[in-house]
Structures are given as structure tokens and as C-alpha cells.
A = this chain, B = another copy of it.
Amino acid sequence: MAQIYDRVALIGLGLIAGSMSLAMRRAGLAGEVVGYARSAETRDTAREIGLCDRVCDTLADTVKDADLVVLCVPVGAMDSVAAEIAPHLKPGCTVSDVGSVKQAVVAAVAPHLPEGVHFIPAHPMAGTEHSGPRSGFATLFDNRWCIIVPVEGSDPDALQRVHDLWKGMGSFTDEMDPAHHDLVVAVTSHTPHLIAYTMVGVADDLGRVTDSEVIKFSAAGFRDFTRIAASDPTMWRDVFLTNKEATLEILGRFTEELFALQRAIRQGDGDHLHDYFTRTRAIRRGIIEAGQDTDAPNFGRGGAH
């Protein structure tokens, strides 16, 4: 893979930025990767483990002469970071991000960027429940999708290079408009996360089932929920605050369906339950056929009933 940018600046050195740096290094996509994190401790860790080629102590130094600047901070921090870097951006550079919400990021970032800077938002659909500068790994994006969300007047060449970068890091890429993106992820990611957080919270509250029993007998289902519910709290707070409308819409539909199933349980309507549970199997088969999960026996983690 040929080099795509001479200098890439990563702002925020958590799971995604760390994995990007390692994935770019693996494929030789950038001449130099420069990083910045607000916390001095994170910067020290990043230097210690050689996460980037260079770690800077100020935002101005980080973006100086960078051809691509990627905002890898929680969605709620995008506005202030964009305001602070704007005066120091190299003319003609590209600014991108990895936020899980796109309408709010476009609204927060675009107004700050000077004429001649290309803004190409993106959202890699990849992650783990871990966070921080030590959590990244080079293969995180392999065979996962990165959704690129061009804004009005996006420069075709700048857009193509962002596609090439993500493909070079192992991803498939696709394009979507911001509103549609936010609805899709509300269904496939945001609402499931909120539900998992809720269920884990309920278990934690329940006095009669002691903590140790919940943990000891955590079965598939709950165990998967706890993994999801261990994700970074700040990032997820910002996701729900900024993708409010789509999340609330999907939550409303979810509650409606849940009440229908709850009524079927109360009334002993086995046919309703069986039909519903049969229908949901088909979606699973589609995901396996699409190569987005495997059919292996639960990756060796026994599930449970």
C-alpha cells in the first residue's frame, strides 16, 4: 500500500486513534503520525509505548503542517477542539473524525473550519469495550465497515483519499448522509447499548440476587450485555446526548414491542412468542452470510439458558 498522507495528526489517543496509528503503520499509509491527548498521563503513556511517531503537548503543534487531522475525541468535545485547531490548520488539509454520531459532529465542527480546508466526517464501525491509549491494536478495523459522510461541496479528491486511508487500514467503506447514518446506528448500535447498560444496572440494583450470583451465573445474554455495558462512559454519554432524536425514536418502538411481548407472557400466548422468536432467527443468518460474525459455537464462551 502506498503512502496516502505525508503527515497525519490524531487528536485524542484512545482506542480508535491508537488502532488507527498502528493500522497506518502496518500498511505504511502515513509519512508521520503525530498525536495529542488532553491528559498529560495519556500523552506519557503514548510516548512510552511508541503509539505514534511523535506526541505533542499542544493542539497547535499537533496539527501544524498535517495533511490530515482526525478528531478522535468524544462527540461532546468536538466543538471546542475544532475551534482551537482551526487557526493552525494547513491550507488545503483534510479534517476528519471518528465520532459515532454525524449530524451533531457536522454541526459542531464545520462552522469553525477555514475556507479551503476539506471536512470529510467518517465513522469506523469497530471497537471493543476497552478504552485508553493501551487499548488500540492494528487489526481493529480489518473487515469492518467505515461509513464516510460527505458534507455539501466535499472535494472529490479529498474524499477519495479518506476512502483509501480506511481501506488501507483494513476496512470496507461506504457513504451515507448524516441523518440516515444517525438512524442506522441508533438501531444497530446506540439503542442496543442503552438497553445493555439498563439491564446490567437492573441486575446491580437487585438486592435478592446478590452481586456474586449475578457474576457467578452470568450466562450468555447477560454476559454479553456486561461486555457492551463496560464501554467508555464519556463517549456513550455524548452519543446519547447528541443522537437524541433517533435514539428516542427507536427506544419508543422498542418499548412498544417489549410491551406486546410482555402481554403475551402475561396472557400465556405461546404462539405469539414462538412466531416472534422464529422471525428473529432469519436476521442472524443474514449477518453470518454477510461475514460480519461467525457461526462458531459462541467463540468458546458457552452461552446459557
Q: Which residues of A contact B (CB under 8 A)?
A: 76, 100, 123-130, 135, 137, 139-142, 144-145, 147, 174, 180, 183-185, 187-206, 208-209, 211, 213-231, 233-241, 244, 247-248, 250-251, 253-255, 257-258, 261-262, 265-266, 268, 270, 273-274, 276-287, 290, 292-295, 297-305
Complex Cα spacing A215 to B285, Å: 9
| Chain B hits for A137, CB < 8 A | 297
| Chain B hits for A233, CB < 8 A | 273-274, 277-278, 281
Identical subunits present: 2
Complex Cα spacing A305 to B215, Å: 25
Asked if B223 and A287 sit within 8 Å, CB to CB, the answer is yes
Asked if B230 and A280 sit within 8 Å, CB to CB, the answer is yes
Asked if B284 and A198 sit within 8 Å, CB to CB, the answer is no
Complex Cα spacing A279 to B199, Å: 12
Q: Decide: A188 near B208, CB < 8 A? Known: A125-B304, A261-B198.
A: no
Complex Cα spacing A131 to B254, Å: 27
Asked if B215 and A254 sit within 8 Å, CB to CB, the answer is no
Asked if A187 and B215 sit within 8 Å, CB to CB, the answer is no
Question: Quick one: which of B198, B223, B282, B299 contacts A292, CB cutoff 8 A?
Answer: B223
